């Protein structure tokens, strides 16, 4: 309540000082302005003045007036991000491997969610099938699968899999089941 009184007092003081006679203004016009300015600044620096400003800034009416137009913000961001300077900035920034790695890690979950959503989209799936059915893409994939590097990689994966204790246990289980079924058929 005290804060509102302080805010009301400020315009009244300004009004009173502005109603001075013309003689007073001509003789000490600059002096009155400086005194008034100092007085207003001093009032705003007090705890009551600060609280009054906080109360005004947190009021719903003031918040509504301070809210920015979303279209203006969106247009500003778009024009800023697509400017030549911004393109140069992003090229330079993404050329730093540490920055690119950090961005990639932070976007991993979002990208994963997007891909999962796309895989359920019939239009996207149809498009992917069309891409993989193109002769040039098929040739590139065949060349890649026939390459020495891919064959070596495939051999390493198979060797690693065969040496895995989990895989060995699974194979052993399957062999025991097959032996049981063969013994049942022969009996």
pLDDT at position 102: 86
How many Cβ atoms are within 10 Å of 52's Cβ, its own excluded? 22
- Predicted structure pTM score: 0.33
pLDDT at position 146: 92
Q: What is the pLDDT along the chain (187 residues), one digit of tens a residue?
A: 555 555 555 566 656 566 554 445 455 556 688 888 888 888 888 898 888 888 888 887 777 766 655 677 778 888 888 888 888 888 888 888 888 888 888 888 899 999 999 989 999 999 999 999 999 999 999 999 999 999 999 999 999 988 888 888 888 899 999 999 988 888 7
pLDDT at position 80: 81
How far lies 2's CA from each of 48, 53, 56, 60, 71, in Å?
7, 12, 12, 19, 39
Give the separation between CA 147 and CA 153, rounded to whole angstroms.
10
pLDDT at position 58: 83
């Amino acid at each position: 309540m005290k804060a509102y009184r302080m805010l009301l007092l400020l315009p009244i003081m300004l009004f009173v000082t502005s109603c001075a006679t013309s003689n007073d203004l001509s003789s000490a016009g600059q002096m009155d302005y400086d005194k008034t300015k100092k007085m207003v600044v001093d009032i705003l620096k007090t705890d009551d003045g600060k609280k009054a400003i906080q109360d005004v800034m947190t009021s719903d009416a003031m918040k509504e007036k301070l809210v920015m137009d979303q279209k203006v913000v969106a247009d500003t961001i778009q024009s800023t991000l697509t400017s030549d300077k911004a393109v140069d900035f992003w090229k330079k920034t993404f050329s730093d491997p540490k920055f690119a790695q950090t961005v990639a890690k932070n976007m991993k979950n979002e990208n994963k969610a997007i891909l999962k959503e796309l895989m359920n989209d019939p239009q996207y799936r149809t498009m992917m099938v069309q891409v993989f059915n193109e002769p040039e893409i098929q040739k590139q994939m065949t060349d890649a699968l026939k390459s020495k590097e891919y064959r070596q990689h495939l051999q390493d994966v198979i060797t690693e899999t065969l040496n895995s204790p989990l895989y060995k246990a699974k194979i052993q289980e399957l062999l025991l089941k097959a032996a049981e079924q063969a013994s049942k058929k022969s009996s």
